[in-house]
Amino acid sequence: EFVLTQSPGTLSLSPGERATLSCRASQSVSSSYLAWYQQKPGQAPRLLIYGASARATGIPDRFSGSGSGTDFTLTISRLEPEDFAVYYCHQYGNSPRTFGQGTKVEIK
């Protein structure tokens, strides 16, 4: 089973700062099948990035994804107030699908 490990667990930053979130897989993941989701309290997750680097419909360009193999990164170039949330990576190329444990981006 693919294990996805996200780091850090919590990221404390100020609006306007850059956020870099990491997702490491226990085995190589095809880049076509790595996604990132944003989840705010009381809400369902929202797809941000699919295929490791493609933005989903309506996602601002301050969100970018990169990586390949076992190491993937979600970058938020300049944090807006609405970006403070929990972010999950997800691999969907192999069954069983798996999610990372999440990174919380909080206001410093």
- Binding interface with other proteins (CB under 8 A): 1, 32-33, 35, 37, 39, 44-47, 50-51, 54, 56, 88, 90, 92-93, 95-102
- What's the rounded Cα separation, in Å, for the pair 91 and 94? 7
Q: What is the DSSP letter of 85?
A: S
Query: Closest separation between CB of residue 16 and other proteins, Å?
Result: 28
Nearer to other proteins, 13 or 33 (CB): 33
Query: Closest separation between CB of residue 78 and other proteins, Å?
Result: 25
Beta-carbon contacts of 41 under 8 Å, excluding residues fewer than 6 positions away, are none
Nearer to other proteins, 13 or 56 (CB): 56
Query: Closest separation between CB of residue 62 and other proteins, Å?
Result: 20
Query: Closest separation between CB of residue 32 and other proteins, Å?
Result: 6
Nearer to other proteins, 39 or 73 (CB): 39
- What's the rounded Cα separation, in Å, for the pair 102 and 58? 22
3 to 23, 52, 99: CA distances (angstroms): 10, 16, 8
Q: What is the DSSP letter of 51?
A: T
